[in-house]
């Protein structure tokens, strides 16, 4: 594993820059990483925190924005809005899997991974916890946890309007309004919203338009009621509707190839709509506070677009030079071409409840006990259609008769897979922290999770082209459970330094592939059921201040043993999307982060993450010793911010540059192809009059770096059969957006 020399140079320069530091000190940051408020310095967790001022200064508006600033955390964008693969310390999500981390908004756990990629607006703080956090945050916190806190209603009437324009072209408007509803201030509200509309940035040369237009409408309402001195309540409801395009893949050999443009003849369609609501209460019982969170989520996502080979209709579907298949399609349709399209529909509804009791004692042991449950109903269908050049029919649950020879049928359905899944999970948890000495604290936590899943096949016989013998109405039922303990020892050798050691375990539930793929697919690691994931993590870290509080450093080193690292595999013979697993992989790495005040007006932020992975147990000897799937060996960032007053009247000028480095990234256990390192530069500058107005200009990917955000092995006979030394020839690449720039005007009132 190689460390990028620029990252080390920046880190060393920051560490020795003491003589240039100003007399001011860095702001104190309070986090809730252990579900209680404490300073970032005192929290014995590898956590990256973004305060309100950080969010504004760096222009964070999506999860991708804060992930880019967090070492050892990456986010892969691909296929459609709902497919975003979060990776923390090498532990990743993939298609059809749960998230690699627990993601909570205002204490409410996201029930579906498709909700992750959403607009962030009116946000107070974001915390990214690295390492297993299942003892406190649940079954999906195997890689870590992300907590997002929106701004609460205030005691005074206030508001904000932010209008922006960007180079796509496009425009946006965001804002909020809030304040007290009663004279005594016991009832307060806050309404916030966001609207974005742009034409996109990735060229579709065949259609002469952009492949990635984006329109998003999101809103949120919060109502807080202080019922009494002991009882407070918080009701939140949110709505989001996103419209864009999907499936504009490029088929190529290597992960670094960027020469082939998008050429799909169907522009694709992707609409995601979700509604979320939650009710939270806190009741002070004197010795403890009783808290409850009830949440409801309802999500629908429809995706459609071109199918392999993602080229215009005049380039025939020629999988393995299978002329017989092309002749068969022509016979059924009477059409000249044999092109295909595809469609997918997802519907998820969930209800969850958490009850927690937190001790109020200011001295002595700090403790929490609680219970959690969630019931989820999911329906998903994926299918292929014959592309007659008349568009794609968006299939939801209304399957149409598959009459190929009917010339009035614009897109005959060739095949479809559909299933319904009912999940019920419950957990009990607790933690206690107590002082062994004045400078030594021990915290113990544990959580038991039980997850039961029932899958029902809903593919009608008419549409089953897999050859797997799917039985309509067939049910499969499995359950997974695990204990997730965590033990942390925190030592304060001085007033300015904390050293900690941690042992923890993480858990992520298993799930279902299509019935029969375990015997039909020759690729190793694929079975009808993909099993649970368990991780065991050992970590040592340190945090501290130097130079009278003008330089803040944190570091952590870790070793993680993971059972069941996920990877995705598409099988064209059965037209199935499958999640495979590697029996065992090991991850060794570190994080180094710091913030320094340089001079009177400059602030430097830097971070370095290293992850070295190795497959130690595999279903085939060819994988042993390889890098685990979806791992970026090196991640890092450097940010330099300038802010200074101009004249009188409270006006300030500001500028910020953020450089991000993504090291070599491996995508699949064969390690056939890796993406080379990527370096990205973002810029922001503007003027601000505090509490009045601001104008900001911004640039994303200022150097116009060309790269692919995902590489996924595609259908290739040699690859499926595992012939040594032969690379897959039909790989799926997802292109990244190039340079984007814009301007924003903000008014506070």
- Per residue in 254-295, pLDDT tens? 889 999 999 999 988 999 999 999 999 999 999 999 999 999
pLDDT mean over 567-583 = 83
Query: Other C-beta atoms within 10 Å of 568: how many?
Result: 25
For 5-748, CATH number out of 3.40.50.620, 2.40.50.100, 3.10.20.740, 2.40.170.20 equals 2.40.170.20
pLDDT of 130 reads: 95
pLDDT of 501 reads: 97
pLDDT of 427 reads: 96
Looking at the chain, the whole-number percentage of residues with pLDDT higher than 70 is 91
pLDDT band at residue 724 under the 50/70/90 scheme: low
**Range list of β-strands (E), 257-365:** 269-284, 288-306, 340-359
Q: Which range, 231-240, 395-404, 729-738, is most confident?
A: 231-240
Kindly tell me if the per-residue pLDDT of 717 is higher than 70. Answer: no
Kindly tell me if the per-residue pLDDT of 55 is higher than 90. Answer: yes
pLDDT of 586 reads: 97
Structural domain spans, the chain: 5-748
Residue 328 backbone dihedrals phi, psi, to 5 degrees: -65, -45
pLDDT of 324 reads: 63
Mean pLDDT of the chain: 88
DSSP 591-606: EEEEEEEEBTTEEEEE
Structure tokens at 180: 């007290």
pLDDT of 321 reads: 47
CB distance 319 to 726 below 8 Å: no
pLDDT mean over 654-671 = 92
**Element containing residue 373 per DSSP (H, E):** strand 366-386
pLDDT band at residue 32 under the 50/70/90 scheme: confident
Q: Helix (H, G, I), strand (E, B), or coil: what is residue 55?
A: helix
Which tens digit of pLDDT belongs to each residue from 154-169? 999 999 999 999 999 9
Name, in order, each residue with C-beta under 8 angstroms of 565's C-beta and a sequence gap of 6 or more: 91, 92, 533, 581, 582, 585, 615, 628, 629, 669
pLDDT of 576 reads: 82
The C-alpha atoms of residue 73 and residue 91 are separated, in whole angstroms, by: 9
Kindly tell me if the per-residue pLDDT of 405 is higher than 80. Answer: no
Closest CA to 102 of 479, 369, 484: 484
The C-alpha atoms of residue 150 and residue 105 are separated, in whole angstroms, by: 7
Kindly tell me if the per-residue pLDDT of 328 is higher than 70. Answer: no
pLDDT of 639 reads: 96
pLDDT of 282 reads: 96
19-25 long-range contacts, CB within 8 A, separation 24+? 20/598, 20/599, 21/547, 21/550, 21/551, 21/596, 21/597, 21/598, 21/599, 22/550, 22/597, 22/598, 22/599, 22/600, 23/548, 23/550, 24/550, 24/597, 24/600, 25/548, 25/549, 25/550, 25/597
């Amino acid at each position: 594993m190689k460390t990028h020399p620029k990252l080390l140079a920046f880190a060393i320069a920051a560490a020795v820059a003491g003589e240039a530091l100003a007399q001011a000190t860095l702001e104190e940051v309070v986090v809730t990483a252990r579900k209680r408020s404490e300073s970032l310095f005192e929290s014995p967790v590898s956590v990256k925190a973004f305060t309100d001022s950080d969010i504004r200064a760096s222009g964070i508006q999506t999860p991708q924005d804060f992930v880019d600033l967090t070492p050892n955390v990456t986010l892969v964008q691909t296929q459609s809005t709902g497919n975003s693969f979060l990776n923390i310390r090498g532990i990743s999500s993939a298609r059809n899997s749960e998230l690699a981390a627990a993601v909570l908004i205002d204490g409410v756990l996201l029930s579906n991974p498709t909700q992750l990629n959403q607009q962030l607006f009116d946000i107070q703080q974001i915390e990214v916890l690295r390492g297993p956090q299942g003892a406190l945050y649940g079954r999906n916190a195997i890689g870590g946890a992300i907590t997002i806190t929106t701004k609460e209603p205030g005691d005074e009437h206030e508001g904000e309007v932010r209008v922006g324009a960007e180079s796509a072209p496009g425009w946006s408007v965001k804002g909020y309004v809030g304040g007290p509803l009663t004279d005594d201030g016991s009832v307060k509200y806050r309404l916030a919203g966001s609207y974005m509309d742009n034409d996109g940035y990735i060229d579709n040369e065949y259609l002469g338009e952009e492949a990635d237009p984006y329109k998003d409408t999101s809103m949120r309402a919060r109502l807080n009621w202080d019922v009494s001195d002991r009882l407070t309540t918080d009701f939140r409801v949110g709505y989001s509707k996103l419209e864009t395009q999907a499936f504009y893949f490029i088929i190529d050999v290597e992960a670094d190839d960027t020469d082939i443009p998008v050429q799909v003849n169907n522009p694709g369609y992707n609409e995601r709509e979700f509604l979320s609501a939650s009710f939270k209460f806190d009741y002070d019982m004197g010795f403890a506070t009783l808290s409850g969170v009830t949440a409801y989520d309802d999500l629908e996502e429809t995706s459609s677009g071109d199918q392999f080979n993602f080229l215009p209709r005049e380039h025939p579907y020629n999988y393995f030079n299978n002329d017989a298949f092309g002749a068969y399609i022509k016979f059924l349709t009477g059409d000249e071409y044999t092109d295909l399209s595809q469609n997918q529909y997802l519907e998820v509804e969930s209800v969850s409840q958490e009850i927690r009791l937190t001790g109020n004692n200011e001295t002595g042991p700090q403790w929490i006990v609680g219970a959690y449950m969630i019931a989820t109903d999911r329906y998903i269908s994926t299918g292929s259609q014959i592309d007659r050049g008349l568009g794609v029919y968006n299939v939801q649950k209304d399957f149409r008769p598959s009459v190929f020879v009917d010339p009035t049928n614009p897109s005959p359905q060739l095949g479809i897979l559909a299933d319904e899944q009912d999940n019920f999970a419950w957990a009990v948890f607790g933690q206690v922290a107590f002082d062994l000495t004045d400078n030594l604290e021990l915290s113990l936590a544990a959580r038991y999770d039980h997850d039961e899943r029932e899958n029902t096949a809903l593919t009608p016989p008419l549409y089953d082209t897999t050859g797997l013998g799917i039985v309509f109405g067939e049910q499969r039922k499995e359950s997974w459970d695990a204990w997730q303990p965590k033990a942390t020892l925190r030592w304060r050798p001085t007033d300015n330094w904390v050293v900690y050691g941690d042992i923890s375990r993480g858990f992520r539930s298993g799930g279902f592939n299509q019935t029969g793929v375990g015997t039909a697919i020759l690729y190793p690691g694929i079975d009808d059921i993909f099993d649970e994931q368990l991780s065991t993590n050992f970590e040592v870290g340190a945090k501290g201040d130097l130079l009278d509080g003008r330089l803040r450093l944190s570091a952590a080193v870790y070793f993680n043993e993971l059972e069941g690292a996920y990877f995705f595999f598409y099988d064209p013979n059965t037209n199935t999307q499958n999640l495979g697993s590697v029996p065992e992989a090991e991850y060794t790495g570190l994080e180094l982060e710091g913030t320094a005040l340089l001079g009177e007006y400059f602030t430097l932020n830097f971070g370095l993450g290293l992850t070295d992975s190795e497959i130690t147990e595999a279903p085939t000897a060819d994988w042993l010793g390889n890098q685990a799937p979806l791992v970026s060996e090196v991640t890092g960032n450097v940010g330099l911010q300038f802010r200074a007053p101009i004249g009188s009247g409270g006006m300030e000028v500001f500028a910020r540059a953020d450089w991000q480095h993504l090291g070599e990234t491996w995508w699949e256990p064969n390690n056939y192809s890796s993406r080379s390192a990527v370096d990205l530069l973002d810029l922001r500058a503007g003027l601000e009059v505090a509490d009045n107005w601001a104008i900001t200009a911004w640039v994303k990917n200022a150097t116009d770096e060309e790269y692919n955000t995902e590489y996924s092995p595609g259908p290739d006979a040699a690859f499926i059969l595992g012939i040594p030394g032969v690379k897959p020839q039909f790989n799926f690449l997802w292109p990244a957006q190039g340079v984007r720039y814009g301007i924003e005007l903000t008014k506070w009132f």
